[in-house]
Structure 1
Amino acid sequence: MSEGPMRVFAIVLQLGTLLRAGPVTAAEPGGRSQPESSPPRVVLQDVSGQKHCGTLLSLTDEKLELRTGSGSTRHWPLREVLQLQFAPGRGDRRSAHADTTAPPLVLLANGDRLRARAVAIRDERLVARWATYRDWPPLTMPLETVRACLLRRPTFPQRHRSVSAGIAAAAIPQANNADRIVLVNGDRMDGELSQWTEQELQIETAVGPATVAASRVVAVAMNPEWTSFPSEPARRAILRLSDGSRLTVHELTLADGSSGESLRAVATCGTPLVVPLEAVASLQFLGGRAVYLSDMTPVEYSHTPYLAGHRPLQKDANVLGGPLRLRGREYAKGLGMPSRSQVTFELSEQYERFRAVVGIDDSAGERGGVIFVIRAEGRTLWKSGPLGRISAPQSTGWVDVSAVKRLTLMVDF
């Protein structure tokens, strides 16, 4: 018997988890005068956790320029910045508590997610139209970078409940060495997709070619044997839009367009983007002085299930493979751990401080209780109180790890 949902636990590592030891590059004062246009209002959070409000004047892969409330202008190296929140409250009101697994969705192989409807395959590229931003041009992306597409909500009968639950968790079931089409009645067709248009899909199955109307398709999962993703650059950012879309990007710049200021970037799947700043909810910067444990390789991991069924450590996902969510808020970075489990990372005294937010993932059931412990060199550095399904997430605060060789995170009953 597999472990029940009451034991599902997600450790969410919010913002800066580990700070590298070394000199801090402070924000430098600048002398730029105020431009005629109105730059976007942002809240900048630096690697120490401090927040700074102001207007964004410029942005590149290396630094940004911010005019603070006092009127002074400062240059911030991106390695010292954790996140930019655009127009505080605007993007979050529309998307922070939204169902980010609701269709239509395009799911990429690196975990990125687009609120867009796939409509065609042309020249080995998937074509998709934005669901919310309907006046934006269609997206195209290399087909090998796409994991799956969810076109509409399933209406499966009772016997297909498990399939429906998997899709709702953004875990569209893939076939072994085949593309898979899931129909509105729950039936599946496995084979090789040969054509995809707005009207129909064609697939070569083991019993011959088949054509199905696009209106009958709930989801399409791509052949995992053909899925691949380019190596992501060390310096990159997670772009979150106000509709809940999430893309990993690099080559960031600000530009003026016909509809106002825009963010230009290149998605790590290779797709160039031009996004109006009014649609940007946040930018979370990776590859700087703050390091996320989900980007590190653990030296040890163990799980002792309450009943039976071993669960692996999940990076940037809950233990079911879906998005990390605590009390309605989604986190792009973090670890999904079942109870009772523990994971150890090699720090080698190269980091200064560690911080995390912990809680039981929203995908868990209503019952159950766990505690979370941080240990190093046989000592307990931090221990949570009992956490239940309805408990508010707990913050560890900053934990000194400057003399820590190995850091262990534990989830217990």
Structure 2
Amino acid sequence: MMRLTLLGLLLATLAAPANCAEPQELVLLDGQRAVGRPTQLKDGALTFATAAGEEQSFAAGQWFRWGHPTKPDARPALYFGEQSVLVSKTDWTGKVPMTIDDRTVTIATSAFGKVNLPRDKVRCLLLAAAKEPGSAARLLDQAATDSSDDRVWLVEGDLLAGTVVDFDGTTLHLEFSGQTLPVLASTIAAVAFAGDETPANLDAKYLVGLDDGSLIEAAGCTLTTEQLSVESLGEWTSQSPKKLVFLQSLAGGVQYLSDLDAVDFRHTPYFSGEWPLARDRSLQGSPLQVAGERYAKGLAMHSAARAVYRVPAGMTTFAADIALDDSAGQSGSVVFRIYRVSADGAEQAFESEVVRSGDAPQPVQVPLDDAAAIVLVVDYADYGDQQDHANWLDARFVP
């Protein structure tokens, strides 16, 4: 039996094009799932090679996610849009593989080579802080706040404010109070540019994830066995499509609840302290993560809580994967419930068993029927509300 299994795996590997991405789970809109590799994406239509070597095709609107985003490598990175990050390539010269002038920020990447972005669309650069996840998360939060000045955080903790004149990968020049101060790249933790906290609108139809942790909100994406092309703040092409690890469709009629405003949200603490509703992030502000796998879309709630959403016109189904976030440690336990609300009142449409830390994500699909709204509820289970970091992963309305 072991020989047959190994032989099957070998044949499946040989059957897939050598330059394609590694096998991952593909999730279809109807809830079906398969493991394999995408070999072509054009105009939203996806061609997929299963682990058994079979080729299947799915039209735009039939699929919504393949794979998972990965943690960014600990190298300098550039952040833009709501979720986008480009990780720099390894540079053995000691220079930071980024430059800045008055109009453009340039980053050298392993997938796309040199990428030029409009300076006014870039939110933040992580330099030394990219090596320290805790520091990186804190500085990214600070960079997201409104500021009339460019800001430079130093490794030692100081903050400099003024106007970034330029950066050549070795020295950054910062102008303030009529003077220009040179700042060595080795002393810089992060850089944020002046502007309001509203991210650039990229009209994204896809999220595209690479093996170095880069994540791109893309208006267009084309994949063949020879190359990957992404349209974002420019058109970028890679001759290494095997670097692709994640694709998520933001089009096809699907409406993610994290992109909608809740009609009402209420958290009832077990003792004291209130938790907000988190969108596309965990309750700790980190990426949504279950069993080591990251998710780009979803809601996070702390028991006991409820969130109410109107059902958009044309939607027939609510779907999500339910689980406790890895940030819950080993102590969390909750019950998930879903209610449909119509002119006749509210009815319970779903109730889970007790979901505990470490449990695998459980797919849930609820027909909406004539519901005008749905209510998502997370309730206490064992030990009150201890570490009850509940995730509605990929929570979505489906037409």
Q: TM-score range with shorter-chain normalisation? A: 0.7 to 0.9
87, 93, 117: which one aligns with 1:115:
87
Shift of 1:410: 1.9
SS at match of 1:165: helix
> Pairwise CA RMSD of aligned residues?
3.5
Q: How many residues are paired up?
A: 351
Shift of 1:166: 5.0
What are the residue-to-residue correspondences of 1:227-376 with 2, within 5 Å?
Answer: 228-233=199-204, 236-254=205-223, 261-267=226-232, 269-305=233-269, 310-347=274-311, 350-364=314-328, 367-376=331-340
CA-to-partner distance for each residue in 1:229-267, whole Å, 9 max, x for gaps? 13415xx211111122111223333457xxxx0011212
Aligned equivalent of 2:351: 383
What are the residue-to-residue correspondences of 1:126-205 with 2, within 5 Å?
Answer: 126-130=105-109, 133=110, 137-153=113-129, 165-168=134-137, 171-174=140-143, 176-205=147-176
Shift of 1:216: 0.6
Task: Give the Cα–Cα distance (whole angstroms) in 2 for the partners of residues 350 and 177 of structure 1.
Answer: 43
Task: Give the Cα–Cα distance (whole angstroms) in 2 for the partners of residues 242 and 155 of structure 1.
Answer: 17
Q: How high is the TM-score relative to the length of structure 2?
A: 0.75
Task: Give the Cα–Cα distance (whole angstroms) in 2 for the partners of residues 137 and 279 of structure 1.
Answer: 13
For structure 2, the residue ranges without an aligned partner over 5 or more in a row are 1-16, 89-95, 381-399
Q: How high is the TM-score relative to the length of structure 1?
A: 0.72
Shift of 1:373: 2.2
Shift of 1:68: 7.0
Aligned equivalent of 2:365: 398
Aligned equivalent of 1:407: 374
AA at the equivalent of 2:63: V
Task: Give the Cα–Cα distance (whole angstroms) in 1 for the partners of residues 37 and 217 of structure 2.
Answer: 23
Task: Give the Cα–Cα distance (whole angstroms) in 1 for the partners of residues 282 and 227 of structure 2.
Answer: 33
CA-to-partner distance for each residue in 1:293-331, whole Å, 9 max, x for gaps? 122232222334456665543321123432111231100
Percent of paired sites with the same residue: 26
SS at match of 1:243: coil
Q: Is the 8 A contact 1:113 1:245 kept in 2?
A: yes
AA at the equivalent of 1:106: L
AA at the equivalent of 1:107: Y
Q: Is the 8 A contact 1:65 1:75 kept in 2?
A: yes
Task: Give the Cα–Cα distance (whole angstroms) in 2 for the partners of residues 65 and 155 of structure 1.
Answer: 37
CA-to-partner distance for each residue in 1:171-191, whole Å, 9 max, x for gaps? 342363222211111111122
Choose between structure 1 and 2 for higher RCO, CA contacts under 8 A separated by at least 6 residues. Answer: 1
SS at match of 1:225: coil
Shift of 1:138: 1.8
Aligned equivalent of 1:221: 192
1:74–1:278 distance in 2 versus 1, CA, 3 Å: closer
Shift of 1:360: 3.0
Q: Is the 8 A contact 2:101 2:165 kept in 1?
A: no
Aligned equivalent of 1:51: 33
AA at the equivalent of 1:300: D
CA-to-partner distance for each residue in 1:362-395, whole Å, 9 max, x for gaps? 334664544332222332222334445x332441
Q: Is the 8 A contact 2:39 2:224 kept in 1?
A: no
AA at the equivalent of 1:252: C
AA at the equivalent of 2:280: D
1:105–1:67 distance in 2 versus 1, CA, 3 Å: closer
CA-to-partner distance for each residue in 1:64-104, whole Å, 9 max, x for gaps? 3457799987643111122345xxxxxx7xx75xx437443
For structure 1, the residue ranges without an aligned partner over 5 or more in a row are 1-36, 86-91, 157-163
Shift of 1:348: 5.7
Task: Give the Cα–Cα distance (whole angstroms) in 1 for the partners of residues 376 and 315 of structure 2.
Answer: 16
SS at match of 2:30: coil
1:210–1:371 distance in 2 versus 1, CA, 3 Å: farther
